[in-house]
Amino acid sequence: MKILKLSKKAYKQYTTTVKGNEDTDMDQVARKLTRNIQIVKEKVERHKWMKEKLIHESMFWTTYCYGDLHIKVWNGKVIRVKNFQGDNEFEFFVPKRRYEQISKQLRIEGYEKKFSRKKNNRKFV
Protein backbone atom coordinates (compact mmCIF):
# COMPACT_ATOMS: atom_id res chain seq x y z
CA MET A 1 0.00 0.00 0.00
CA LYS A 2 1.43 3.35 -1.03
CA ILE A 3 1.61 5.99 1.69
CA LEU A 4 0.07 9.29 0.69
CA LYS A 5 2.14 12.46 0.71
CA LEU A 6 1.16 15.12 3.21
CA SER A 7 1.23 18.91 2.94
CA LYS A 8 2.57 20.92 5.89
CA LYS A 9 -0.79 22.64 6.21
CA ALA A 10 -2.67 19.30 6.46
CA TYR A 11 -0.11 18.06 8.99
CA LYS A 12 -0.66 21.10 11.19
CA GLN A 13 -4.45 20.80 10.87
CA TYR A 14 -4.30 17.13 11.91
CA THR A 15 -2.01 17.59 14.89
CA THR A 16 -3.98 20.55 16.25
CA THR A 17 -7.50 19.12 15.81
CA VAL A 18 -7.21 15.34 16.34
CA LYS A 19 -7.04 14.49 20.02
CA GLY A 20 -3.86 12.73 21.20
CA ASN A 21 -1.82 13.55 18.09
CA GLU A 22 -0.21 16.83 19.14
CA ASP A 23 3.30 15.31 19.12
CA THR A 24 2.86 12.87 16.23
CA ASP A 25 5.51 13.28 13.53
CA MET A 26 4.71 13.95 9.88
CA ASP A 27 5.53 10.42 8.70
CA GLN A 28 3.18 8.81 11.23
CA VAL A 29 0.38 11.27 10.40
CA ALA A 30 0.73 10.39 6.69
CA ARG A 31 0.51 6.70 7.57
CA LYS A 32 -2.56 7.22 9.78
CA LEU A 33 -4.38 9.22 7.12
CA THR A 34 -3.50 6.59 4.50
CA ARG A 35 -5.00 3.93 6.79
CA ASN A 36 -8.14 5.98 7.39
CA ILE A 37 -8.68 6.51 3.66
CA GLN A 38 -8.15 2.81 2.99
CA ILE A 39 -10.80 1.94 5.58
CA VAL A 40 -13.26 4.36 3.93
CA LYS A 41 -12.55 2.87 0.48
CA GLU A 42 -13.08 -0.68 1.76
CA LYS A 43 -16.30 0.31 3.54
CA VAL A 44 -17.66 1.86 0.32
CA GLU A 45 -16.59 -1.21 -1.66
CA ARG A 46 -18.68 -3.43 0.65
CA HIS A 47 -21.57 -0.99 1.04
CA LYS A 48 -22.06 0.91 -2.23
CA TRP A 49 -24.87 3.04 -0.78
CA MET A 50 -22.35 4.71 1.56
CA LYS A 51 -20.32 6.25 -1.27
CA GLU A 52 -22.29 9.48 -1.44
CA LYS A 53 -21.86 9.97 2.32
CA LEU A 54 -18.20 8.97 2.62
CA ILE A 55 -16.49 10.02 -0.63
CA HIS A 56 -17.00 13.40 -2.29
CA GLU A 57 -15.31 13.79 -5.67
CA SER A 58 -14.75 17.05 -7.50
CA MET A 59 -12.85 17.84 -10.65
CA PHE A 60 -9.67 18.58 -8.69
CA TRP A 61 -9.75 16.59 -5.44
CA THR A 62 -11.46 13.86 -3.48
CA THR A 63 -12.64 14.21 0.10
CA TYR A 64 -12.87 11.08 2.26
CA CYS A 65 -15.08 11.21 5.36
CA TYR A 66 -13.66 9.05 8.12
CA GLY A 67 -16.29 9.73 10.74
CA ASP A 68 -15.97 13.40 11.68
CA LEU A 69 -12.55 13.65 10.01
CA HIS A 70 -12.67 14.89 6.41
CA ILE A 71 -9.49 14.25 4.43
CA LYS A 72 -9.01 16.12 1.16
CA VAL A 73 -6.64 14.49 -1.37
CA TRP A 74 -5.32 15.96 -4.59
CA ASN A 75 -2.97 14.07 -6.88
CA GLY A 76 -1.85 11.55 -4.22
CA LYS A 77 -1.26 14.21 -1.56
CA VAL A 78 -3.35 15.07 1.49
CA ILE A 79 -3.86 18.82 1.20
CA ARG A 80 -6.42 19.46 3.95
CA VAL A 81 -7.76 17.83 7.09
CA LYS A 82 -10.89 19.11 8.81
CA ASN A 83 -12.24 17.64 12.04
CA PHE A 84 -15.97 18.29 12.36
CA GLN A 85 -16.22 17.22 15.99
CA GLY A 86 -19.69 15.91 16.76
CA ASP A 87 -21.23 16.92 13.42
CA ASN A 88 -21.41 13.44 11.87
CA GLU A 89 -24.96 12.65 10.80
CA PHE A 90 -24.63 8.86 11.02
CA GLU A 91 -22.57 6.34 12.96
CA PHE A 92 -19.27 5.31 11.42
CA PHE A 93 -17.87 2.05 12.77
CA VAL A 94 -14.32 0.89 12.22
CA PRO A 95 -13.74 -2.89 12.12
CA LYS A 96 -11.10 -3.59 14.78
CA ARG A 97 -9.39 -6.47 13.01
CA ARG A 98 -9.01 -4.63 9.70
CA TYR A 99 -7.89 -1.45 11.49
CA GLU A 100 -5.15 -3.45 13.22
CA GLN A 101 -4.10 -5.23 10.01
CA ILE A 102 -3.68 -2.00 8.07
CA SER A 103 -1.93 -0.33 11.02
CA LYS A 104 0.61 -3.18 11.20
CA GLN A 105 1.11 -3.15 7.44
CA LEU A 106 1.80 0.60 7.47
CA ARG A 107 3.93 0.36 10.65
CA ILE A 108 1.81 2.83 12.61
CA GLU A 109 3.02 3.29 16.17
CA GLY A 110 0.67 3.02 19.15
CA TYR A 111 -2.41 1.82 17.27
CA GLU A 112 -3.03 -0.83 19.95
CA LYS A 113 -4.29 1.85 22.33
CA LYS A 114 -7.24 2.71 20.10
CA PHE A 115 -9.40 -0.23 21.14
CA SER A 116 -7.89 -1.05 24.53
CA ARG A 117 -10.54 0.97 26.43
CA LYS A 118 -13.48 -0.64 24.63
CA LYS A 119 -15.07 -3.99 25.44
CA ASN A 120 -16.60 -4.51 22.01
CA ASN A 121 -14.91 -5.07 18.62
CA ARG A 122 -15.88 -1.74 17.09
CA LYS A 123 -14.81 1.82 17.64
CA PHE A 124 -17.21 4.69 17.13
CA VAL A 125 -15.42 7.47 15.30
Helices (H) and strands (E) in the chain, counts: 5, 7
Instruction: Report the pLDDT value the prediction gives residue 125, as an integer from 0 to 100.
Output: 44
Per-residue confidence in pLDDT tens, the chain, 125 aa: 899 999 999 999 999 999 999 999 999 999 999 999 999 999 999 989 989 989 999 999 999 999 899 999 999 999 999 998 766 666 778 888 999 999 999 999 988 777 665 544 454 44
Instruction: Report the pLDDT value the prediction gives residue 44, as an integer from 0 to 100.
Output: 93
Instruction: Report the pLDDT value the prediction gives residue 85, as an integer from 0 to 100.
Output: 76
Amino acid, res. 81: V
User: What's this model's pTM, rounded to 2 decimal places?
Assistant: 0.86
Instruction: Report the pLDDT value the prediction gives residue 87, as an integer from 0 to 100.
Output: 61
CA-CA-CA-CA torsion for 117, 88, 98, 64, nearest 10 degrees? -140
Q: What is the residue extent of each domain of the chain? A: 5-124
Instruction: Report the pLDDT value the prediction gives residue 91, as an integer from 0 to 100.
Output: 72
Instruction: Report the pLDDT value the prediction gives residue 116, as an integer from 0 to 100.
Output: 62
- Start-to-end C-alpha separation, the chain: 23
